[in-house]
Structure 1
Amino acid sequence: MAKEQAVSRMRHAQHLDRKLPRNQIVEAALTCGFVNSPPGSWELAVRARVEAVNRSDLHRELIETKSLMQAWSLRGAPTIFPSAQAGTFLGALAARDDEVPIYAQPLSYTAKALKADRKILLEALRKACRILDGSVVVGKAQLDHVLAEAMKSYLPEAVLSQADEPSLVAKNQTLLEAAVSYLLRQCSLEGRVMMGERQKQEPVFLSPSAWFGSALDDQPQPQRIVDLFLHSYGPASAQDFARWTGCSRAQAQRLWALAATERVEVDVQGQRGWMLKADFEELNRLPQQTSAIQLLGAHDPFLDLPQRGWILPDPAAQKKVWRFVGSPGVVLQKSQIVGIWNAPVQKGKAQARITLFNALSPAERAQVCAEMRQLQEFLQRPLGTCEFLE
């Protein structure tokens, strides 16, 4: 199997080769969810996959009809996914008692300073989260504080004596607030906390039952999350699945084993990986790729594929795309990254700057600028300049 064929299939699975109709925003989110970090990045991901969509459409689905929801999920990050699939994106990823929860690996130092076992802290936090059934908290730091104070009623004196000591990881934070921050992801996966409508650029937190007006149906669908991963990113491995979800090795292996009968091992130019059998059988029926230029936002789900070299072979260029902070958007031609882009706003206008890794013809450059203009219109701001940096 050629890597070009494998990447073409991933692109097809993620609706990047043929956009979905405007009324299928929820379908687009179901593919592999949209990690919304930094806030708003999910909007560009939807735009790349859904025809003629606008931001009002997104607001309607997330805030008005609530057919989408936002909660800490993949890698412990804010993730937007269909509300009906809470059992897939939440319940399935909740760790068992003998597994380290997603995002909680660094907790051990804070727990040691508190002289508390992780299980004791988590159980107290679960009880504290009940206050979110009747109150809304604005701001993440405030949420940590409110829940830490509520936890104190459920903790032993030995822990309380250390609770207000300075955090080991952040200024203006206590040890107990730090513990809350690490363990909140597990509470999110258990359906105890989620994000509501932002207020003045600040995140808003409450319980799903308060948001929806009834208990959330988050009955775990563990095989479903593996299937979605393999459909979007296969051929891949259990280690790739662990990185994508943020699960511990033990939890990832447990979930991975559930889909054993549904997948097949394949060789992609000497590299072994697993695909869903149904996807493997469809390989020869994929639609032909077009040469149209696409602009993907930073942190687009397509960029989460395990084999970065398949879409950008140059290691030096890879460092410019996948950064720890300040990642750019990418210019995609067929299934290859041919450049990166940024569009800072100056005097009310977006000033687009495109750095190319591959040469593009004048017609292709014009296509990039036309796509950039449409992207900025989606973001409701005019395009000032579209400059190519060599």
Structure 2
Amino acid sequence: MTHGRKWGKAMSDGVVSIRELNRATLQRQLLLRRDDRSVTEALGRLVALQAQVANAPYVGLWSRLDGFDKADLTGPMERREVVRATLLRATLQVMTAEDYLRLRTSLRPALVKAMRGFMGKRAQGLDFGDLASAARELLDQRPYALGELGEALLKSHPDRDAPALAYISLRCELPVVQRPPGGTWGSGSSATYVTADAWLGAACHDAEEPQELVRRYLAAFGPAHAKDIQVWSGLTGMTAVLKDMRGELTVLRDEHGTELFDLPDASLPHADTPAPVRLLPEYDNLLLSHHDRTRVIPDAYRPHVFRPGGRVLPTVLLDGFVAGVWRTERQRATTRLTVTLFTDVPGRDKEAVAEEAARLLEFITGEPGHPVELVTAG
């Protein structure tokens, strides 16, 4: 891979172009070339992959790792090396067990705030700690699905509604993870939950580590500013954390003069470093981890990707930037993958998109020969 500048505290210009930000982010997200590291090593680099849809992290890893097979993620989940659990932005993520145990305490305030905001009146006056204790008593006996846990919690909280009780219990105060086969390829929304300490044989770290969160974020998504870290983590107060860390970080600026921070030993690929076509799954963290997302998606395309109801469609990267969306649909005995490009592109680019889409469809179906279609919006 071609590298460009390497940051040092005595840099003379310190200005990063939008294409340099794009290439730096793609490199750190393992999207400039398919990497040969293991799934656990890759997740350690990425921190987590969003997993609201069970199949999504499999597609995300296929796009990032050389020779990735579905068993490469399912195996570590079954061996308890990788977990699917609520973490960043109070959404389901796939991450290493080690990272879940280390980072959850730091992210707990964001989980509580998000859940109170999401539940509104349904959470008013509810003691989250008391609810977590009641849920733990149940989960210590056996795994529970979301619906049945809510019904069981009505015995201790009869004046509440079951879905809210279950959702708050499993997404907020109590560290829990999904037990495989929940969260594995093809499992859909079916899952049962167990406490993290019982499943992993260890408790979450006691102390909050906001500076460690910053370092991990920058390694996976930098250079960035405080608002970027806050969007990724769901936490507030990152400006103060960065102020405390200023002496150990490199300080840069984007083309608009906004101050950015990075790790001092991080490298930056040249702006003209080739970026191959990539197809990313719905909700991929590449699109969700910055306040200013123009480093990966032009503002004009955001309404085509970020849809009502919080949906984030699967995307196509062309020359490093979002250029379209894709979907699959089952038609009798075959599965079709359709790519919709937002604008017309040269024939060579269409060919590259079609080839990558065919490879992805073969990964999804497990067999070659299913049809791929390219269309242009409008």
TM-score range, shorter chain: 0.7 to 0.9
The structure, 1 or 2, with the larger RCO (C-alpha pairs under 8 Å, 6+ apart) is 2
Matched-pair contact (CA < 8 Å) for 1:103–1:246: no
Report deviation, 1:230.
2.4
1:216 corresponds to: 203
> Is 1:195 the equivalent of 2:178?
yes
Once the two structures are superposed, the pairs formed by residues 324-363 of structure 1 within 5 Å of their partners are 324-325=308-309, 326-363=311-348
> Is 1:270 the equivalent of 2:260?
no
Once the two structures are superposed, the pairs formed by residues 190-339 of structure 1 within 5 Å of their partners are 191=175, 193-198=176-181, 201=188, 202-212=190-200, 214-220=201-207, 221-247=209-235, 249=236, 252=238, 259-278=245-264, 282-283=267-268, 289-304=273-288, 305-315=290-300, 317-325=301-309, 326-339=311-324
| Residues paired across the two proteins, number | 351
Report deviation, 1:225.
1.7
Per-residue Cα deviation, 1:44-74 (whole angstroms, up to 9, x for no partner) = 11111111011011111111x2211111101
1:83 corresponds to: 97
Separation (CA, whole Å) in 1 of partners of 2:214 and 2:152: 35
Per-residue Cα deviation, 1:144-185 (whole angstroms, up to 9, x for no partner) = 223443xx2xxxxxxx5xx345xxxxxxxx1x6524423532
Separation (CA, whole Å) in 2 of partners of 1:348 and 1:211: 39
**Secondary structure of residue in 2 paired with 1:339:** strand
> Is 1:105 the equivalent of 2:110?
no
**Secondary structure of residue in 2 paired with 1:270:** coil
Amino acid at match of 2:205: D
2:10 corresponds to: none
Per-residue Cα deviation, 1:267-287 (whole angstroms, up to 9, x for no partner) = 2111413222325x523x669
Amino acid at match of 1:101: K
Structure 1 residues 306 and 231, CA, compared in 2 at 3 Å: closer, same or farther? farther
Per-residue Cα deviation, 1:13-46 (whole angstroms, up to 9, x for no partner) = 111112221x511122122301101222111111
1:168 corresponds to: none
> Is 1:134 the equivalent of 2:141?
yes
Structure 1 residues 356 and 225, CA, compared in 2 at 3 Å: closer, same or farther? same
**Could you tell which deviates more after superposition, 37-46 or 302-311?**
302-311
**Could you tell which deviates more after superposition, 11-20 or 285-294?**
285-294
Structure 1 residues 287 and 68, CA, compared in 2 at 3 Å: closer, same or farther? farther
Report deviation, 1:142.
1.9
Amino acid at match of 1:86: Y
Query: Aligned to 2:39, which of 19, 25, 28?
Result: 25
2:3 corresponds to: none
Q: Which runs of 5+ in 1 are unaligned?
A: 153-159, 166-173
Matched-pair contact (CA < 8 Å) for 1:354–1:387: yes
Separation (CA, whole Å) in 2 of partners of 1:369 and 1:333: 12
> Is 1:369 the equivalent of 2:354?
yes
**Secondary structure of residue in 1 paired with 2:193:** strand
Separation (CA, whole Å) in 2 of partners of 1:13 and 1:3: 15
Give the structure-2-normalised TM-score: 0.82
Runs of 4+ in 1 over 6 A off after TM superposition: none
Separation (CA, whole Å) in 1 of partners of 2:35 and 2:275: 18
**Secondary structure of residue in 2 paired with 1:94:** helix
Separation (CA, whole Å) in 2 of partners of 1:324 and 1:381: 32
Separation (CA, whole Å) in 2 of partners of 1:89 and 1:346: 43
Report deviation, 1:314.
4.8
Separation (CA, whole Å) in 2 of partners of 1:286 and 1:228: 23
